[in-house]
Structure 1
């Protein structure tokens, strides 16, 4: 019989890999592996996002998101500098386009101050100085916001783990799990893996893997597709860094915004459209079992009832480029429909409770020999080094 591993991490996204790397650094004596169902790491949320390194402006003071984002961002910049991974730090402005948004802008400023984020409240003149083509009544300027290719970061973690003798087993989809004494046996198409501790970082499928591990999740992951539209080379000159709207405080999404990535590409997005499958990246794609599972969930039905107007608006803007441009012109008046050239999408794994409430903070659930990362959407990528340490510490408490 093969000797059991100390720890198996399920999920080769940035959170799973950062957690495994934290374990490697903290306890080099442990045997561990990462199991990823795709042929390569970073195939889903990690490789399909805006690439923004957040400063920690939005999150409730004292929450895990607030604490880990602020710590993680600076650590991420340092890590990338050490590894030669390109980053930018162009800053961003969060723009109030009308006076009725000023109360929400003030709340953002309060949160950011409580979270230790350096920022400056600016008026129209300050907006024009930072982003000459943007318009607004007032804005918050956050200089620390930057960008990186999070796929590059994840691949660097994977390379470090492999060099240290901790294999990344791609193509391993966990389909069954059983407890045997103090061990957990994970069964997939390539065979079985036995470990003393399992860390479930399965992202879009984390609640399903949690159920396989013998524990009923108290939240369900619902998939929201975020669509990005690339700006033409000419229109990209309208944006220097990142231009964000004042977000709806009821929702964890930050609203459709302009971002300039590390390659210099400017995109508008993402929206938040319901996806009829956990990996349904196309507008017409879906998976019937996923759709039926969501529709049968009371939390989804209540969410739809509470936010149906927003859902309809988001769906319409998904289909009509003109409506996207009309909304974005509130911040960038010179934008034209012809300026939108390309299209891509990602899917956000968003936990929802049975009352239909969107879960705003990171959520980690533990059981004997198991740590489940049940909700880790943005800014988990920004916070990856800090959240990896946090999860690793909790997992090590289960190692005997």
Structure 2
């Protein structure tokens, strides 16, 4: 277990709860902005990036779908550029292969045209392709039209998180693994985290808890007009004989009423291709398989009126996703719409992911980032896709918001040779 250094009755000036890519990015940037403060990151698992940060499609999103002016659109556009720059500077594996969004019928062509306009609004320089141009670029993909976005790519997000952690440690951040936060207590002087292996006291905290975000926010009396509802994204891997099936990332045209992008073909950093994900209501916060069910998680969902309102709004699509999860042929048909050569035997097993989706009391799914303060802490209550792509600008935003909300300023000038003495509350 990590030995924690004590500072004037506190274990740290700032606690960061959560060792996913957003929490680690925040720790790295906090110590960079305030050299000399003491930062302690608590992660419940035995390794960093154990959940959403490594159980995803590995895509560097360009920002195609997001409402112009939203945090998502801004973070994503800047995040993609920052991810490529960071990866190349620190030898993290990335590849800028571009993406195609493929329309296969009249409704999708109409939606594709709307997406093209949104791409332009989000300053992405999209390229519209007709059927012949699509076939020339991707001979094994079928569609009536497509948008090509050159800035999309793929990354090793687990490797990126580990690199950020190394840089954070070099700056003085302490990282303690196997520390599941079971309680948070705030008072006028600080915040105390009780974990499975100890008790830690800090002046302030930034909580990046992903699938557990609402529970930790509730401990700090954050207004809970939302709950986290887990959706499992199931993937398959194509056989090595089909590693060259596409040169781009290939996506269907999504339903604008849903926050999910549909089953897509993704070239992965390892050289293989995955298919997925779908979006199936999970029976546990960390329910990576159908048999993973948690009564506490299910009871929490059932007790939240917004959950039932969400089911009322999206019940039909939810049943369709569930059917295709249990019926592999249905899943295959989603892929065959734009990649007709695929057959059932091509869908080989691959690990699933679970997405933390914030749902409001009225049943609406939160599409944007949701960040809420409490007395002594700042909580990332919803960090949807593209949070991995956007981890660097999200971390910078959190550090800026944290400084402004709590009036923090270094007690020393960065160029000073004096010993670090923490943060002053302004």
The TM-score range, normalised by the shorter chain, is: over 0.9
Of 44, 50, 66 in structure 1, the residue corresponding to residue 57 of structure 2 is 50
> What's the offset of the Cα at 1:376?
0.3
> What's the offset of the Cα at 1:225?
0.1
Spell out, residue by residue over 1:223-252, the C-alpha distance to the aligned partner (whole angstroms, 9 max, x if none): 000000000112333222211000010111
> What's the offset of the Cα at 1:4?
4.7
Of 297, 301, 311 in structure 2, the residue corresponding to residue 294 of structure 1 is 301
Q: Which residue of 1 aligns with 2:414?
A: none
Q: Which residue of 2 aligns with 1:116?
A: 123
- Aligned-partner Cα distance in 1 for 2:382–2:188: 28
Count how many residue pairs are aligned between Structure 1 and Structure 2: 400
Higher mean displacement: 27-36 or 223-232: 27-36
Q: Which residue of 1 aligns with 2:162?
A: 155
Q: Which residue of 2 aligns with 1:255?
A: 262
Cα contact 2:18–2:42 (8 A) shared by 1: yes
Q: Which residue of 2 aligns with 1:355?
A: 362
Spell out, residue by residue over 1:166-197, the C-alpha distance to the aligned partner (whole angstroms, 9 max, x if none): 11111111112222322111111222211111
Of 292, 311, 316 in structure 1, the residue corresponding to residue 323 of structure 2 is 316
- Aligned-partner Cα distance in 1 for 2:113–2:370: 27
Cα contact 1:235–1:335 (8 A) shared by 2: no
> What's the offset of the Cα at 1:320?
1.5
- Aligned-partner Cα distance in 1 for 2:129–2:78: 26
Q: Which residue of 2 aligns with 1:24?
A: 31
Of 229, 236, 241 in structure 1, the residue corresponding to residue 248 of structure 2 is 241
Cα contact 2:283–2:290 (8 A) shared by 1: no
Report whether the alignment pairs 1:265 with 2:294. no
Spell out, residue by residue over 1:339-360, the C-alpha distance to the aligned partner (whole angstroms, 9 max, x if none): 1112320000000001111110
Q: Which residue of 1 aligns with 2:94?
A: 87
TM-score by length of 1: 0.98
- Aligned-partner Cα distance in 2 for 1:47–1:142: 24
- Aligned-partner Cα distance in 2 for 1:129–1:299: 47
Of 166, 169, 187 in structure 1, the residue corresponding to residue 173 of structure 2 is 166
Cα contact 2:220–2:375 (8 A) shared by 1: no
TM-score by length of 2: 0.92
In structure 1, stretches of 5+ residues that fail to align are none
3-state secondary structure, aligned to 1:24? helix
3-state secondary structure, aligned to 2:350? strand
Cα contact 2:59–2:154 (8 A) shared by 1: yes
- Aligned-partner Cα distance in 1 for 2:183–2:210: 17
Higher mean displacement: 373-382 or 95-104: 95-104
- Aligned-partner Cα distance in 1 for 2:104–2:330: 17
Q: Which residue of 1 aligns with 2:419?
A: none
- Aligned-partner Cα distance in 2 for 1:36–1:157: 15
Cα contact 2:222–2:373 (8 A) shared by 1: no
> What's the offset of the Cα at 1:2?
3.2
- Aligned-partner Cα distance in 2 for 1:143–1:152: 23
Q: Which residue of 2 aligns with 1:182?
A: 189
- Aligned-partner Cα distance in 2 for 1:131–1:101: 19
- Aligned-partner Cα distance in 2 for 1:235–1:3: 55
Report whether the alignment pairs 1:391 with 2:398. yes
- Aligned-partner Cα distance in 1 for 2:136–2:229: 40
- Aligned-partner Cα distance in 1 for 2:31–2:117: 38
- Aligned-partner Cα distance in 1 for 2:262–2:334: 11
Q: Where in structure 1 do 4 or more consecutive aligned residues deviate above 4 Å? A: none
Cα contact 1:73–1:382 (8 A) shared by 2: yes
3-state secondary structure, aligned to 1:276? coil
- Aligned-partner Cα distance in 1 for 2:177–2:38: 17
Report whether the alignment pairs 1:329 with 2:325. no
3-state secondary structure, aligned to 1:175? strand
- Aligned-partner Cα distance in 2 for 1:383–1:347: 18
Higher mean displacement: 333-342 or 253-262: 333-342
> What's the offset of the Cα at 1:392?
0.7
- Aligned-partner Cα distance in 1 for 2:61–2:350: 23
> What's the offset of the Cα at 1:369?
1.9
In structure 2, stretches of 5+ residues that fail to align are 1-7, 409-424
